[in-house]
Structure 1
Amino acid sequence: MHPNSLWSLRLGFSNKEAQKIETLGFKRFLEVAFNSKVDDSIPSFLNESPKTLEELKTIRQQLKTQSADEAKDLRLKENQVSQEMKIWWIEKMRSDEFPLREKMTCFWHNHYVSTFQKVKVNHWIFQHNQILRTHAFGNFKTLTKEVLKSNAMVRYLDNVDNRKGKINENLSRELLELFTLGIGNYTEEDIKNGAKGLAGLGLGETKAMYRKFQQDNDVITYFGQEGMFKADELIDIIFEQKAAPYLITRKLLKWFLYDVPSEELVTYYGDYLRKVDFEIQPLLQKIFTEEYAKNTAGSKIKDPLVYVLQLQNELQIDKINPRLLHAFLKMQGMDLFGQPNVKGWNGGKEWLSSQVYLQRNNVADLMCNGKGLGRNNQKEDNEMMQNKSGKQSAVALKFDASGTNKTIITELQNRLLFQADAEMQTDFETLLKYDFNPKSEGAENAVLRLFNEMVKRPEFQLI
């Protein structure tokens, strides 16, 4: 089992970076990945969507004067833009040369949840996503401040309804419970007083802003400190608390390495995060390089993104309809910009329910057969699957054509990151018999049948 393939999957979404890790060396590979550039241009699918409060007000006025059908069309158009944004992001994950930044953006996306269904303004959701991308390897405290002042977050967690004399505690509560400290490390009084400090922080032209007549300027007590604190000061105080580093280090270990990280590791890396003043890049550098040296294979269940993009990469499917990839992710419970609630996707064992496992096996069949994901539509199948030669409905699986049945089985096992026990080995050798000739006509189909059998095994679901 090759560690470079394992870490290519962990730091991206497929095996495609394994050769770069091999060539550059792991530490240099990480440096290059950390220094990847952020494209700050606004995608064309957002051209017609409202970008300022003024534009939003104009559209709302239009809705009042339009017929029910016209209003429905306008809403439908924005829903379609939301779908385009999901597809845009899947393509970024799939095609970026060093996808660690997208992997980390996806981590933050599931930490600071904000969905289109609730926010309803695509540009704000895009801005929120760009904040996460820009600060992906930056400072955790700074990122928390930026997210808290995004239009998407104040809308998603109802801080637009939080004003003096009519306090809404949602944002204050989740800031402590889900974003920073975790349950048991704050009091209900801290939530109430934090909500007062956040009162009046509402929608602004480009980001959230305090409204003079809605903010609460009372002196509050927050974690034992007294003052007239606003968003940034509240966050500064939170990050002085003893528990500040551990929630995020536990989640990072779960995202990249272990479904059940040991408390010893959570504390060890959390202590280091505090030491480097909540800078994420040195923490990730330390986690990745130290855990790389250990035998950690099989410690985590693949999420649907890694599962389907690894299959696509192994089968060398250059062109794949991203809409069908999105449909698969949604079916598996990993809808981008559409988590079920503020806690996000739980991951772990939830990625391997019997229904999810069955869906994955069905998709493996379809992809190995060069057919579309989940729809019986010949036109979409043909659009979706094209190999390098441009032939329709074709896949190409690499294997050593000078090998034997046993060496090919071992080669695929190493790429797919699991070891076969004696019974499994017998099953594989039944599929690819001892007298198998890898140069014979139809040899590729025989190896593809073996590959399809391997990726349906529970072992392939692990990373």
Structure 2
Amino acid sequence: MGLATDREKTAHLLRRFGLGASVEELDFYSEGGYARAVDRLLGESAEEAPLPDAARFVGANGRLNPPDAVAWWVVRLLGTRRVLREKLTVFWHNHFATSVVKVGAAPLMVAQIETLRRLALGPFEDLLLALSRDPAMVVWLDNAQNVKGKPNENFAREVMELFTIGIGHYNEEDVREAARAFTGWSLRRIPGGPLGVSAEFLYRRAAHDDGEKTVLGTKGDLGGEDVIRLLCQRPETSRRLVRKFFAWFVRPNPDDATVERFAKAYRESGLNTLALVRAVVLSPEFLSPQAERAVVKSPVDFVIPTLRQLGVGERLAQSLPPEGQLPRRLLLPALAAGQAMRAMGMALLAPPDVSGWEGGPAWISSATMAERIRWASTLFGSGGGGRPGLRYPAESLLEAEATPSAVAARLFEVFDAPADPETLSLATQAAATKKGSGTNAMAEAASQVLFASPAFQYA
């Protein structure tokens, strides 16, 4: 254990703040040392791939259905070269957990994800304000029903409890008064358009309560923007965000002193998320042995990197026609990935509730481990779990004879697996049992052992 070289540090960086890395991507980012790798990643120096917009995923009924919207996002996850921005989009999707199951209209979810992506690395206050006015969020937390004389407290409660300061730092009177401040924040649905339907934020002036309010000790004719500003100024918000950030990207359970140090820097930057990322990735805490392979992989971190490391994402982006509806056969990798992540417990666009996914060790159960192992059959075999097999040509990974040891060793390299002689030996033995059945059968067997190994569950 220990990140001794710049290449090892860069691989660690891309496991956490990227979407994994192929050998070629690691070569690109690590050239010139770790500090240069950080600059490349945070500066988004890679030219973005030509990725299709959501309108090209519209179904035969002329509407964008939820599975189509998931496929649209998975194609971006597979093909993007702006991996930091996309990884932060996933993080914020969990933080502002909103589900298409209640929202109903997939185009509203696409618009929300695009907002998260656009503002992912900027000031948190800008992101929070945009999400507070986001039509999907308005539906999700019932703010369209929040009107003068009959306030609905759902959004006001969650913006404090989950999005900012957290339980213990506000009282019920704060919730009631904040709800009054958000009265009139509604939406207007727009039928038609390229996605079948859309919506926009609508401030209903007649539904807003103009009376005096007191929120967190501040008194006045407060509106929603005022409440958001107050919440972002509270030190509890920066601490809560940093603690959650550490759990996702560094290691679980940071001590209070560490949280306060990064929270102070975050506040001094104006809650600029890019500044927080830079402070974290250059810190001793991030590069310490305690942080290496210390975060349990989410289904996104398990599935998406394996496809990208095999080059599937880049080829998918290049194979899509420049215009028109997208043939389903070209989207099979994205569809399979979306189905697999759902089976592993992470249905994109449909988090379980407003608190998002629990994450960490909760990703692992007997059922989800079976799905992680089955992913090997999706990659190299005939599939399983109702998913078609992609039958990736494993022989293309090899430069010499496809022996069991060569197949296993190459897969460990491609998938950025921890150096574990015992697991490699078991994977080689598994491949040997399939030697007479072809390279793909050997790759499937070896990958099953790797995907089942405890160490591979950690990024």
- Assess same fold via TM > 0.5: yes
Distance 1:4 1:274, change over 3 A: same
Structure 2 letter corresponding to 1:461: Q
Is 2:17 the counterpart of 1:23?
Answer: no
- Match for residue 273 of structure 1 among 266, 270, 291: 266
Give secondary structure in 2 for the equivalent of 1:203.
strand
Deviation at 1:118, TM superposition (A): 1.5
* TM-score, L = length of structure 1: 0.80
Give SS of 2:219's match. Answer: strand
Q: Which amino acid aligns with 1:120?
A: G
AA in 1 matched with 2:287: A
Number of the residue aligned with 1:294: 288
Counterpart amino acid of 1:126? V
**Alignment partner of 1:10 out of 16, 32, 48:** 16
Post-superposition offset of 1:108 = 0.8
- The equivalent of 1:155 in structure 2 is 139
Partner of 2:196: none
Residue 306 of structure 1: aligned partner = 301
Q: What's the counterpart of residue 112 of structure 1?
A: 96
Contact 2:112–2:136 (8 Å) recurs in 1: yes
Query: Is 1:200–1:211's contact at 8 Å kept on the other side of the alignment?
Result: yes
User: Which of 175, 182, 185 is the equivalent residue of 1:201?
Assistant: 185
Q: Distance in 2 between matches of 1:121 and 1:429?
A: 48
The amino acid across from 2:250 in the alignment is L
User: C-alpha offsets along residues 262-297 of structure 1, whole Å, 9 cap, x if unaligned?
Assistant: 333322211110111111111101111224532222
Q: Is the Cα–Cα contact under 8 Å of residues 104 and 136 in structure 1 kept in the other structure?
A: yes
Q: Deviation at 1:411?
A: 6.8
- Distance in 2, matches of 1:117 and 1:280, equals 29
SS in 2 for 1:226: strand
Structure 1 equivalent of residue 126 of structure 2:
142
CA RMSD of aligned residues (A): 3.3
Partners of 2:402 and 2:236 in 1: how far apart? Answer: 55
Q: 1:354 & 1:230 partners in 2: Cα distance?
A: 48
CA distance in structure 2 between the partners assigned to 1:46 and 1:400 by the alignment: 38
- Cα shift at 1:42: 5.3
Question: What is the CA-CA distance between 1:8 and the residue it aligns to?
Answer: 2.1
Deviations 1:377-430 (A, max 9, x none): xxx54xx34x5xxxxxx3347467599998987776565332436x65664575
Asked if residue 34 in structure 1 is aligned to residue 69 in structure 2, the reply is no
Matched, 1:368 2:352: no
Which of 164, 178, 201 is the equivalent residue of 1:180?
164
Uncovered stretches (5+) of structure 1, i.e. residues with no partner = 49-72, 388-393
Q: Does 1:359 align with 2:371?
A: yes
Give the CA deviation at 1:165: 1.3
Task: Supply the AA of the counterpart residue of 1:420.
Answer: D
- Could you say what secondary structure the match of 1:163 adopts? coil
Instruction: Select the structure of larger CA radius of gyration.
Output: 1
Change (3 A) 1:124 1:404: closer
Q: Could you say if the C-alpha distance between residues 153 and 399 of structure 1 is closer, same or farther in structure 2, counting changes exceeding 3 Å?
A: same
The aligned residue for residue 246 of structure 2 is: 253
8 Å CA contact 1:397–1:444 kept in 2: the answer is: no
Q: State whether residues 156 and 179 of structure 2, in contact with CA within 8 Å, keep that contact through their aligned partners in structure 1.
A: yes
Q: 1:338 aligns with which of 327, 350, 372?
A: 350
Q: Secondary structure at the match of 1:221?
A: strand
The CA distance in 1 between the partners of 2:260 and 2:209, in whole Å, is: 37
Shift of 1:444: 8.1
Distance 1:138 1:47 in 2: 31
Contact between 2:380 and 2:441, CA under 8 Å: does it hold in 1? no
Alignment equivalent of 2:234, drawn from 216, 223, 241: 241
Q: Match of 1:260, SS?
A: coil
The range that moved more, 451-460 or 185-194, is: 451-460
8 Å CA contact retained: 1:193, 1:222: yes
**What code does the residue aligned with 2:94 have?**
N
Counterparts of 2:68 and 2:106, CA distance in 1: 10
Contact 1:46/1:122 (<8 A) preserved: no
Native 8 Å contact 2:57 2:68 kept in 1: no
Amino acid at match of 2:133: K
- Whole-Å separation in 1 of the counterparts to 2:346 and 2:252: 17
In 2, distance between residues paired with 1:336 and 1:347? 14
**Aligned equivalent of 1:459:** 455
TM-score, scaled relative to structure 2: 0.80
The letter of the residue matching 1:223 is L
**Is contact 1:315–1:395 with CA below 8 Å preserved after alignment?**
no
| Identical positions, percent | 24
| C-alpha deviation, 1:359, in angstroms | 1.3
- Match in the other structure for 1:44: 55
1:10 maps to a residue whose letter is: R
Extract unaligned runs of 5+ from structure 2.
Answer: 2-7, 190-198, 317-331
Number of residues of Structure 1 aligned to a counterpart in Structure 2: 417
Query: Which residue identity is paired with 1:334?
Result: M
Partner Cα separation in structure 2 for residue 409 and residue 125 of structure 1: 40
